[in-house]
Amino acid sequence: MHIPLIDRYITLVSNNRDFRYLWFSQVISLLGDWFNLIASAKLIEELSGSGLAFSGLFLARLLPPFILGPVAGVLADRFDRRRIMIVSDLLRCLVVLGFLFVRTEQDIWLIYVLTTLQLSIGAFFEPTRSAVLPGLVTRQDLITANALSGATWSSMLALGAAAGGLVTTLLGTTTAFMIDAATYLISAYFITRIAFPAIIEWQTPAALRSKGWQTFVDGLRYLWQRPATLVVTFLKASSAITYGSIDIVQVSFASIFPIWGNEAATLGLIYFVIGLGTGLGPILAQRFTKERLWPMYWAILTAYGLMVAGYLLIGWGPLLGIILVGTFVRTIGTGINWVYSSSILQMSVPDNFLGRVFAFDLAMTTLAASTSTLWAGWARDMLALTPNQIALVMAGVSLGMGCGWLIYLSGYAKKSQPSL
């Protein structure tokens, strides 16, 4: 009997206590994250306003997972995952409080330092959360759990960005940062309520120091010996190479089309639309793919087409309304890409390698997004490209990525994984 998707989400959250607490933790933590992003962007706009300044902010958010990915993956596979997640939340709470000391243009360096610290600590959290998920739900519920997690990320982006823009506008950045700090404490509490599945072998810190490098190399060898899995770990990066630039473009559009004369309100609305698109994409696609791997691969091809169409609309759009429609379309594709690439990995990679595989996956994603972000800031300041022109360039890049995925599906993927 077919169970409507919303009913499946409700059933999963109601019947699975451990997943419910993991989900609660995600909801509250993500809400604060978007408050932080809106407040940080507003401070950068007030204190500097240059394209490279915004690039610096987003690079500070994107680079730490790439640099620390190898260490994070090893810890997630060999250390107590509960402890990693709780300590990450508590440390991030303390770091976020440091934003309260940013007052003048001379303090702008502190934004970059604190953002780097916050995301460096977070680099240990996300691979661990992704590695834990398959152990908390059945294989039949894995796609539903990932879709719900993706929809939650999107919903909290929508609600958090909209609420963050409103709070930042009405109450100021100080309140936004205090809310972010509080959400990490609440998230840590929910994680303490989860009965984590046992991993094959927990190791002590001393054992990790002696075997850590070999453990990391074993993870790379695992991927190298499985080219089909290796390719999947680059799927998110193939979309991040475009949306990294759009992060800069969105801030520019907020300045061009201020709502009620306030850029934060426009930026909040843009992120609200991003949340709707990335949340809706996997939900729609799941109606056709179910829990079957091969249809997921083809759904990702459709996602590239949606990204191209969305970037073209943004590039052409002379009005904020058209830009929002383009943003909605391209993020439907981004959501499908993100959720399905994660689900494919979780369904095919053994538990004792999941932390390292997801750390590599996240590292490649952040490297691609960072490169794209840096290029967009440089193109805006040095080449004098408009936000619309940058979006058109990203449409071309997405088209190239989609063509590459089509070639892959038409050849090697089908031959190497006939059971899909």
pLDDT at 419: 42
Reply yes or no on whether the pLDDT at 134 is more than 50.
yes
Query: Distance between CA 282 and CA 289 in Å, rounded?
Result: 10
Q: Is the dihedral of CA 264, 270, 276, 277 positive or negative?
A: negative
Window from 61-75, 190-204, 215-229, 317-331 with minimum mean pLDDT: 190-204
pLDDT confidence band for 202 (50 / 70 / 90): very low
pLDDT confidence band for 414 (50 / 70 / 90): low
322, 299, 250, 330: which is closest to 405 by C-alpha? Answer: 299
Q: Are the C-beta atoms of 313 and 364 separated by less than 8 Å?
A: no
Window from 93-97, 153-157, 331-335, 399-403 with minimum mean pLDDT: 153-157
pLDDT confidence band for 211 (50 / 70 / 90): low
| 3-class SS of residue 411 | coil
Query: Distance between CA 119 and CA 61 in Å, rounded?
Result: 6
Q: Are the C-beta atoms of 289 and 336 separated by less than 8 Å?
A: no
Is 7 contained in some domain? no
Is 3 contained in some domain? no
Q: Residue 162: in which H helix or E strand, if any?
A: helix 139-171
Reply yes or no on whether the pLDDT at 151 is more than 60.
yes
Beta bridge partners of 259: 262
127, 155, 128: which is closest to 360 by C-alpha? Answer: 127
Window from 3-12, 18-27, 58-67, 226-235 with minimum mean pLDDT: 3-12
Tokens of residue 348, six digits: 């095919």
Q: Are the C-beta atoms of 333 and 238 separated by less than 8 Å?
A: no
Reply yes or no on whether the pLDDT at 254 is more than 80.
no
Tokens of residue 117, six digits: 């610290």
Residues 362, 13, 21, 120: what is their CA dihedral angle, to the nearest 10 degrees? 10
Give Dmax (Cα) for the chain: 62
Is 10 contained in some domain? no
Burial of 163-185, coded b for 16+ CB within 10 Å and e otherwise, reads: bbbbbbbeeebeebbbbbbebbe
Reply yes or no on whether the pLDDT at 158 is more than 80.
no
Tokens of residue 44, six digits: 């950068």
Read off the pLDDT of residues 70-93 as tens digits, 9 standing for 90 and up.
777 778 777 788 888 999 999 999
* CATH number of the structural domain spanning residue 378: 1.20.1250.20
Q: Are the C-beta atoms of 278 and 335 separated by less than 8 Å?
A: yes
What is the pTM assigned to this prediction?
0.75
pLDDT at 172: 81
Residue with tokens 């409507």: 4
What range defines the domain where residue 193 resides? 15-416
| Structural domain total, the chain | 1
Is 5 contained in some domain? no
139, 161, 205, 201: which is closest to 343 by C-alpha? Answer: 139
Mean pLDDT, the chain, rounded, equals 82
pLDDT confidence band for 51 (50 / 70 / 90): low
Reply yes or no on whether the pLDDT at 235 is more than 80.
yes
Is 24 contained in some domain? yes
Is 6 contained in some domain? no
Beta bridge partners of 163: none
pLDDT at 243: 87
Tokens of residue 330, six digits: 């391209």
Q: Are the C-beta atoms of 341 and 232 separated by less than 8 Å?
A: yes
Residue with tokens 């990790």: 208
Query: Distance between CA 6 and CA 28 in Å, rounded?
Result: 20
Beta bridge partners of 262: 259
Question: For residues 206 and 251, which has the higher predicted lDDT (pLDDT)?
Answer: 251
E strands, 96-176, where?
none
Tokens of residue 229, six digits: 């899995």
Mean pLDDT of 97-103: 87
Is 2 contained in some domain? no
Is 299 contained in some domain? yes
Which of 78-82, 210-214, 252-256, 304-308 shows the highest mean pLDDT? Answer: 304-308
